Amino acid sequence: MAKEQSVVLVKPDGLQRGLLGEMVSRFERKGLKLVAVKMMRLTDEILDHWYEHHKDKDFFDELKSFMKSAPIVAMLWQGVEAVAVVRKLCGTTSGREAEAGSIRGDFSISQQLNLIHASDSVDNADRERKLIFKDGEIIDWESAAEALVYSAAERS
């Protein structure tokens, strides 16, 4: 089945609140495979592209300031239907509405300070991956756990 990659950003509030390990742990325990990770400070140049679709919203400047307020940790998680799976683990955008049991549902009570970003489509994941990672930063490795988390049909 088709393996997808989803770009995840642990946002400044996630890092400041010490929730990085909790988030990584949830993705690992689900059975997703980490293929790239880096800590960085987001720039206006990246954010103007990243949030292009929000540039006319009244919260755009505040969103950019928030995303530059501390470093973020960017990760690329791979798996069967990874884009939908990762979004489900994150929960809906607003922490107040997000389902209990999801990352935002369990740890956020804000629409903006919602701890984490996850790609919302395979096309956007591709676009976001290119904005953050260089080819050499993505590691293709054999996960021994794959035989335990997928059936043979799902692995092929």
Residue span binding ligand CMP (CB under 6 A) among the ranges 20-28, 36-44, 109-117, 141-149: 109-117
Residues of this chain, 5-64, that bind ligand CMP according to CB under 6 A: 59, 63
Asked about 117 being catalytic, the answer comes back as yes
Note every long-range contact of 87-95, with CB atoms under 8 Å and residues 24 or more positions apart, other chains counting. Answer: 87/6, 87/118, 87/119, 87/120, 89/26, 89/27, 89/30, 89/118, 90/8, 90/116, 90/118
Report in angstroms how near the CB of residue 111 gets to ligand CMP at its nearest. 5
Select 112 or 143, whichever has its Cβ closest to ligand CMP. 112
Q: Is the dihedral of CA 46, 125, 101, 79 positive or negative?
A: negative
Which member of 89, 114, 125, 128 binds ligand CMP (CB under 6 A)? Answer: 114
Report in angstroms how near the CB of residue 141 gets to ligand CMP at its nearest. 27
Distances (CA, A) of 4 to 44, 106, 139, 146: 28, 26, 14, 14
Amino acid at 123: D
Q: What is the rounded distance in angstroms from the CA atom of residue 27 to the CA atom of residue 144? A: 16
Select 103 or 156, whichever has its Cβ closest to ligand CMP. 103
Residues of this chain, 78-97, that bind ligand CMP according to CB under 6 A: 93
Per CB under 6 A, residues contacting ligand CMP are: 59, 63, 93, 111-112, 114, 117
